[in-house]
Amino acid sequence: MNYEGVIIRPPSEANSILLQVSQGCSHNKCTFCGAYKWGRFTIKPDEIIMGDIDYAAKHFKHQRRLFLCDGDALIIPQKRLLNILVEIKKNLPWITRVGVYANSKSIKMKTIDELKELRSYGLGIAYMGLETGDDVTLEAIRKGADAQKMIDMGRKIRQAGIKLSITVLLGIAGKKRSHIHATQTGRVLSAIDPEYVGALSLMLIPDTPLYKDYEKGVFDMIEPHEMLEELKTMIANTDLSRGLFHANHASNYLPIRARLPKEKRKTIELIDQALAGKVELKPEHLRAL
């Protein structure tokens, strides 16, 4: 397989075939993100992508899922993206789900019918970074969308029948807006009602604008117990009809995996126990992105 740059994929795609169809992120402006700072967003040539599909067809016969890398592959023009899905279906008929990262811009660029068309050719899940539902923080981190746009774009994916996994970022609003971040994120998640929510805990990455703000004293990192308070408030304010809320990423202090709404109360009680010092938190040196 032809891989260039750093390949990033959601934790739940750890066992998937990773097909790199683009490089970088078309937005590439979020102040906390150091993932693709090395270069411009490009779509890989069709002959390389088709060569990789051929290779995967010969060598990856046991994997049932495939993830289209990099940062925002949904932004690939419809005809090209559809062609990639068609080739995957033809050459790897055992693949049951194709996943992709999406952001508000790439979702906006597709019509609902185009998304449904992608769904019918195998696109089964989109991963969208919400980070926060707080408009002030969304603007501060240069996410490129306000909360209402995030709600509209998240709902659009769901209306197309594509599963949606949303990432939120504990600590991203700093100390002063921590509570607002938690309540507003819960509100936006409830409005979108995705199948999955993944909460990560902020880790500052050197050379990012947010890191520089932290060094200048403009941005305050919250403490581990404040992250837990944030997580607790967020879960308390999140009403999903039937979703999985997990905070078991390597960056988190307390692993959580809760079916909502069923396990909401139990999860909040577990966080309360951790806040009371009755449950051990992950030591700082074991956290990772």
Q: Which parts of this chain interact with ligand SF4 (CB under 6 A)?
A: 25, 27-30, 33, 35-36, 71, 103, 129
Query: Residue-wise over 87-100: b if at least 16 C-beta within 10 A, else e?
Result: bbeeebeebeebbb
**Which residue lies nearer to ligand SF4 by CB, 108 or 116?**
108
Rounded to whole angstroms, the Cα distance separating 190 from 186 reads: 6
Question: What is d(CA 63, CA 60) in angstroms, rounded to the nearest whole number?
Answer: 6
> Least distance in Å: CB of 100 to ligand SF4?
13
| Min separation Cβ 28 and ligand SF4, Å | 5
Find the shortest distance in angstroms from Cβ 147 to ligand SF4: 16
> Which residue do the tokens 């959580």 mark?
256
Q: Which residue, 28 or 63, has its beta carbon nearer to ligand SF4?
A: 28
Nearest to 109 by CA among 156, 151, 142: 156
Residue 29 C-beta: closest distance to ligand SF4, Å: 6
CB 189 → ligand SF4: shortest distance, Å? 17
Taking CA atoms, 41 is separated from 11, 26, 58, 118, 205, in Å, by 22, 5, 29, 22, 20
Rounded to a whole number of angstroms, the minimum distance from the CB of residue 132 to ligand SF4 is 12
Longest dimension (CA), the chain: 57
Coil vs helix vs strand at 273: helix
Please confirm whether the linkage preceding 261 is cis (ω < 30° from 0).
yes
CB distance 195 to 140 below 8 Å: no
Nearer to ligand SF4, 203 or 268 (CB): 203
Shorter beta-carbon distance to ligand SF4: residue 103 or 267: 103
Select 103 or 178, whichever has its Cβ closest to ligand SF4.
103
Q: Which residue has the tokens 């994929």?
A: 9
- Of 167, 168, 181, nearest in space to 137 by CA: 181
CB of 36 to ligand SF4, least distance (A): 6
Of 224, 259, 263, which is closest to residue 245 (Cα–Cα)? 259
Nearer to ligand SF4 among residue 27 and residue 187 (C-beta): 27
* Nearer of residues 129 and 154 to ligand SF4, judged by Cβ: 129
Say how far apart CA 94 and CA 36 lie, in whole Å. Answer: 31
Task: Round to whole Å and give the CA distance between 52 and 59.
Answer: 10
